[in-house]
Amino acid sequence: MKLAVFGRTGQLATELQRRAPAGVEVTALGRNAADFADPGMVREAAASLEADAIVNAVAYTGVDRAETEEALATVVNGTSVGVLAEVAAERGIPLVHVSTDYVFDGSGERPWRPGDPTAPLGAYGRSKLAGEEAVRAAGGAHVILRTAWVFSAHGGNFVKTMLRIGAERAEVGVVDDQHGGPTPAADIADACVTLARALAEGAPGGTHHFAGAPDTTWADFARETFSRSGLKARVKPIPTSEFPTPARRPANSRLDCTTLTECYGIVRPDWRAGLDDVLKELGAR
């Protein structure tokens, strides 16, 4: 299978290139080939590629910055995603598009199901929801895969931030009233390949959720990171109110991943095993 990946250096795109199984030929398109700030460039790239399936791993992910750059975030996460989906539909190429828990308002304690009402709290969530709606409107074969709390040995993420801060301080304040499932980028990559193959073989698509298990808090995620890395830093649990940010974060980012297992046999990965892999890779560098 020829798999076109939009994105080259991000966490997911990196893992897709590294982990492609036998029989899957990955072509990764970076910003020089398809800058999502330029929808026309995305259209041209999508119209000329040769692929059996597409994975979109491009996103504007600056959650706080999006509050002052919503127009740009919407072009990258919404308009250009729609262009890609339209061309894919026209050419009959199935599309796997990665989205986020930020399309929900984070209320309640029950894990969010794919069909639950969306109500983003901020600009980033609104831009990602615009992308989802554009993919559905294009009418092509697709899976929208919502995920949360992504981490890897690459790029910027919570684990790498905690390792840096934990090496500098004896105590680190970490939010303890936001809940979700940390998700290794490597496992998202494997899920995307499975979904792309299924769509290419005619399986039905739709919107599904994928996050690591068990659900936890940022504070407990930090504790596990320190414990498994050997850092002696202590975690001081703090409420979100003591860590103000320009963009509001969902208090409940738990995702119900049942339909992904039922439809494609993809089960939630244990994020602690993924954390061990990431720490091992970082230690080897």
For residues 224-260, one letter each, b for 16 or more C-beta atoms within 10 angstroms of the residue's C-beta and e for the rest, the string is bbbeebebebebebbeeeeeeeebbbbbbbbbbbebb
Task: State pLDDT tens for residues 55-83.
Answer: 999 999 999 999 999 999 999 999 999 99
> Is the model's pLDDT at 225 over the cut of 60?
yes
The pLDDT confidence band at residue 172, using thresholds 50, 70 and 90, is: very high
Torsion of CA 70, 75, 76, 81, to 10 degrees: 130
**Cα(61)–Cα(77) distance, integer angstroms:** 9
Task: State pLDDT tens for residues 194-217.
Answer: 999 999 999 999 999 999 999 999
Task: State pLDDT tens for residues 3-53.
Answer: 999 999 999 999 999 999 999 999 999 999 999 999 999 999 999 999 999
Catalytic hit among 60, 102, 124, 264: 124
Confidence (pTM)? 0.97
* Whole-number average pLDDT of the chain: 97
Express as a percent the part of the chain with pLDDT over 90: 98
Alpha carbons within 13 angstroms on the beta-carbon side of residue 141 total 17
Of 205, 186, 207, 208, residue with least CA distance to 196: 205
Report whether 26 contacts 3 (CB < 8 A): yes
Secondary-structure class of domain 2-155+182-212+255-269 per CATH: alpha beta
Give the residue extent of every domain in the chain: 2-155+182-212+255-269
pLDDT, residue 107, reads: 97
Is residue 124 part of the annotated active site? The answer reads: yes
pLDDT, residue 284, reads: 54
**Cα(178)–Cα(180) distance, integer angstroms:** 7
Of 173, 172, 150, residue with least CA distance to 231: 172
